[in-house]
Chains A and B, each alone.
Chain A
Amino acid sequence: MTPLDFLRFAFGALSGHRLRTVLSLVGMAIGVAAVVTLTALGEGARRYVIDQFASIGTNLLIVVPGKSETTGIPGVGAAAHELTLQDAQTIARQVPEAEKVAPLVVGTEAVAYGPRRRQVAVVGATHEFLEVRKLVLSRGEFLPAGEMTRGRPVAVIGQTVARELFPGEEALGQVVRIGGWRMRVIGVLAHPGTQLGMDVDDLAIVPVATGMRLFDRRSLFRLMVEVHATAELAPAKAKVVKLLKERHGEEDVTVLTQDAVVATFSQILGVLTLAVGAIAGISLAVAGIGIMNVMLVSVAERTREVGLLRAVGVGRRQVLAVFLTEAALLSAAGGFCGLALGWSAVRLMVRLYPALPASPPLWAVLAALGLALADGILFGLLPARRAARLDPVLALASR
C-alpha cells in the first residue's frame, strides 16, 4: 500500500460515517479554538500594556523618595530625607546622560471658576513634563521653560476640566482658583484618553514650585529623568543614585527604570496567557479521548474488513498505519477547523474592541495544531494496535 492508499482508505472510512466524524471534529475544533482565542486575548493585553508604556517613552528613569528593604511598593508614604527641587537641578547639571529632568508633585484640589468647581488631580511640573509624558496641547501653550524653583500663577488644564468649568466659553486667559490661589489658564491639553490609568483629561498642571507651595510640600512625589538612549539607562541610574546618596548622606531613594517595569508586566501577562492557554488545552485532551472512542468503535465495526486486508497479505504495521492515518486525519482536520473558528473569533473581538491588539501568538497557534495532531495520533494508537493485533482468521470469521 502506498501512502496515498492509506489516505484514501482513511478518508473513505471517515466520510462513510459523516455525523460521527463531524462530531469528533467539533470536539477537537472547540479545543483548538479555545486555545487560540484565549492566548490571543492574553497576548493582546500584553501588547496593550507595552504600547501604553512605550507611548511615554522607554528611556525613562523614575526616582521615588524612600527606600525600604522589605516591602514591595516604593513611594508609599514619606521618606526622612526629601527629594527636593535642588536634587533635580543637581541631577540636570551633573549627570551628562540626563537629557530632560522632570520633577513632579501631585495632589488633589478643587479648581474653581465663578460658581463652578471640580475636584481634580493637580500636578506640579515643569516645561519638560510635556515631552517626557508625550502630552499634546490642543490650544494655548504649556508651562514656560526656565528655572524650576520659580513659581508662576499659571495653569494648563485638561479637556474635561475646560468643558466642565467653561461650558461654551473659552478657557484660555481666564483666571481660575486652585485651593484659594488665583491662576491664569495658559493652555488646554488635547484629548489623548487615559494614559496608564491617569486621566489626562481631568487634571490641572501648575509650575512645580507653585505646586509645592500650594500643597505645602518640601519633597517631590517623583522625579523623571529621560536619557538619550536605552544604553545610557544603567550608567545614568548609577550616577543618580550616587549623587543623591552624597547629597542625602544615605541611599534613601528608589530608582526604577521604565524597562524593568515593562519587563515585569510583560512577564506576568505572559505567564497568565500561558496558564489560561493550558487550562483551555485540557479540552484538547478530552477531545483526544473522544477520538479514541470513535476509533475503537470504528475498529470493532471493521473487524471483517481488517481480516480481509490481512488475508490478502497486508502486514500488521500497515494495518496500524491505516488506523493511525485515520486518527491523524480526524484530529488534523479538527485542528484546522478550530484554527479557523478561533481566528474568526479573534477578528470579531478586534472589530468590537479596536483598542485591544488581540492576535494569537505564533507559538500558541503552532502548539495548538501540533498538540491536536499529536493528540489524535496518541489516542489513536490504542485502537490501531487493537486492529493490528487481530487474528486474520478469527477476524474474517466474525459476524
Chain B
Amino acid sequence: MSGMRDLLRLALGAVFGHRLRSALSMLGIAIGIASVILLTSIGEGTRRYMVAQFTQFGTNLMSVTPGKAKTSGIPGVFGGTTRKLTIEDAQSLARLPGVEDVVPVAFGTARTEANGRGRSIFIYGVTPNVPRAWKFAVRQGSFWPAGDPQRGAAVAVLGPKAKRELFGAANALGRFVRIAGSRFRVIGVMSPKGQFLGFDIDDAAYVPVASALRLFNLPELNEIDVVYAHAGVSGRVERDIRRLLAARHGSEDFTVTTQAAMLAVFDNVMNVVTMAVGAIAGISLLVGAIGILTMMWIAVGERTAEIGLARAIGATRAQVHLLFLAEAAALSTAGGALGVLSGLGIAALLRLAVPGLPVHTPLVFVATAVAVSLATGLLSGVLPARRAAALDPIAALRTE
C-alpha cells in the first residue's frame, strides 16, 4: 500500500462503495458552493454593470460642485455659497494645462411644450462641446456654434425620447418648443444613450448654459465638468483646479470629485456587499462540511476491522491518516465541482429568464470555489482520519 495511485484507488473505492451516502455528502457541499458562486456572480455582475453606467460618460472626468461638503451628504445638492460658481470660473479652468474640455452645467426640470403636447423633462444648460465631453452623439442637426457662453441663444437640442414624445415621427428640426414659457428653436436631436442609474437621459433637452441660468433664475452653475487628457495628469489637474478656484473665490468653497475616486469608493462598497452575501451563503458550506465530518466519523467506525487488517500487514499510521483525508477530500472536491457546474447552470438559466440581470462569474471565483471545497474536505477529514490513525491494530482487528 504505497504510492498516490493506491491511495486514490482506495479512497475512490470507499466513496463508490456507499453510493447514496457519498452522493448526499457531495450534494451538501454542492449546494453550498453553488449558492456562493451564484450570489457572488450576481454581485460581481452588478458591480460591473454600475461601473459601466458610470464610465459611459468617459473616465477622465472631474466635476466641480459649489459648496464644501465637510460633514455629510452629497456635495452640490445643497449648493449655495456666497461666492458663486460662474461661467467665468469654467472659462478660467479651460486654460489650465492638461484640461481638454470644460462644460459649465446648470440644470432643472421644466414643462416643455410643442405640437400641443407637453411634458416635464430635465433641461441641461451646457456648452456645445458637450457631445465630446460626455461621449454623446448627435443624430440630426447639430449643437449651436461655439461662441461666448455668456450669451444664450434661444436654441435647443432634444434628447431622442423628448423629441419622440413631443413630435412623434415628424421632423423636429427648425420647429419651436416652449420651455417654461420661453420659445426655443430645435436645432438638433441626440442619439439614444439610454439610462443612467434609472435616470432616462434621453428624455431631456439641452440649451445654452446662459439660457438655462436665465430660465431657472439660477444665481450660479450646478456643476462644472472637466475632461482631462489622460489619467497621468489627473492629480495635477485636480490640484490646479483647487488652487485656481480657491484664488478666485477667496476660499475653498467648492468640491472637486474625480470619476476615478467615485468609482473606487463604489467598487469598495460593492465588494463588501458581494463578500457579505457570499459569506452568508458560505454558512451552508460550513453545514455541508459538518455533514462530511459526520459521515467520515461513521465510516471510520464501520471500517475498524479493515483498518486493523491494513495496519497488521504493514500500513503505517501516516498512511491510514492520509487514506481517510483523501476520501474526505475526494468527496468534497467532487461536490465542489458539481456545485460550480450547477451554479454556472443556474446563472445561465437566470440570464435567459431575466435578460436584464447582470451576472458575471470570473474564473477566479470558480478556481477559489474548487480550492475552498478541497480545503473544506481536508479540514472536515482531519478528526476522523486522526481517529482512524490512532486505532490500536490488535484491538481493531478483534472488533466483531
Q: Which residues of A contact B (CB under 8 A)?
A: 19-20, 23-24, 26-27, 30-31, 34, 38, 66-72, 76-82, 105-110, 117-122, 179-180, 194, 197-199, 202, 214-219, 221, 250, 252, 276, 279-280, 282-283, 285-287, 289-290, 292-294, 296-297
Contacts and interface: CB of A to CB of B under 8 A. Distances in A.
B32 A214 contact: no
A286 B287 contact: yes
A197 B82 CA distance: 24
Contacts of B25: 293
A59 B79 CA distance: 28
Interface stretch (B210-218, B225-233, B313-321, B362-370): B210-218
18 contacts: A23-B290, A30-B286, A30-B287, A34-B283, A66-B109, A70-B203, A77-B107, A78-B108, A79-B108, A80-B108, A106-B78, A121-B78, A199-B71, A279-B280, A282-B284, A283-B283, A285-B284, A290-B294
B298 interface: yes
Contact of A31 (B39, B106, B181, B287): B287
Given A30-B290, A286-B291, A296 B283 contact: no
Given A72-B198, A216-B84, A293 B294 contact: yes
Given A26-B290, A66-B109, A217 B80 contact: yes
Interface in B265-292: 277, 280-281, 283-284, 286-288, 290-291
Given A71-B200, A296-B21, A27 B291 contact: yes
B81 interface: yes
A283 B253 contact: no
B71 A202 contact: yes
Contacts of A31: 283-284, 287
Nearest to A117: B251
Contacts of A121: 71, 73, 78
Given A69-B121, A70-B200, A252-B120, A215 B82 contact: yes
Contacts of B295: 293-294, 297
Contacts, number: 202
B218 A119 contact: no
Contacts of B131: none
Given A79-B216, A216-B84, A293-B291, A108 B69 contact: yes
A285 B285 CA distance: 11
Nearest to A221: B78
A198 B21 contact: no
B252 to A, nearest CB: 8
A252 B111 contact: yes
B80 A106 contact: yes
A19 B301 CA distance: 12
Nearest to B179: A80
A81 to B, nearest CB: 8
A198 B181 contact: no
Nearest to A23: B294
Interface in B31-81: 31-32, 35, 39, 66-73, 77-81
B261 interface: no
Of all A-B residue pairs in the complex, the 9 with the closest CB atoms, nearest first, are A107-B80, A80-B180, A78-B108, A290-B291, A179-B82, A283-B284, A108-B67, A78-B216, A215-B80
Contact of A197 (B72, B281, B290, B294): B72
Interface string B189-204: 0000000001110010
B108 A34 contact: no
Contacts of B77: 76
B31 A289 contact: yes
A91 B353 CA distance: 50
A280 B217 CA distance: 54
Tell me if A's interface is mostly helix, strand, loop or mixed: mixed
Contacts of A78: 106-109, 216-218, 222
B110 interface: yes
A120 B77 CA distance: 14
B109 A293 contact: no
Given A108-B67, A290-B291, A23 B21 contact: no
A219 B218 CA distance: 9
B210 to A, nearest CB: 14
B290 A290 contact: yes
Nearest to A160: B71
A70 B281 contact: no
A214 B280 contact: no
Given A38-B280, A110-B253, A283-B287, A105 B218 contact: no
Interface string B1-36: 000000000000000000011001101100110010
Most buried by A among B120, B288, B295: B120
B293 interface: yes
A31 B356 CA distance: 32
A284 to B, nearest CB: 8
Most buried by B among A31, A216, A289: A289
B35 A289 contact: no
Nearest to B281: A279
Interface string B112-140: 00000001111000000000000000000
Contacts of B298: 20, 294, 297
Contact of A23 (B219, B280, B283, B293): B293
Contacts of A19: 297
Nearest to A158: B71
Given A69-B121, A80-B215, A107-B79, 19 more contacts: A23-B294, A76-B107, A77-B122, A77-B222, A78-B217, A81-B180, A118-B70, A179-B81, A215-B80, A217-B80, A252-B120, A276-B280, A279-B39, A282-B35, A287-B287, A289-B291, A290-B290, A293-B294, A294-B298
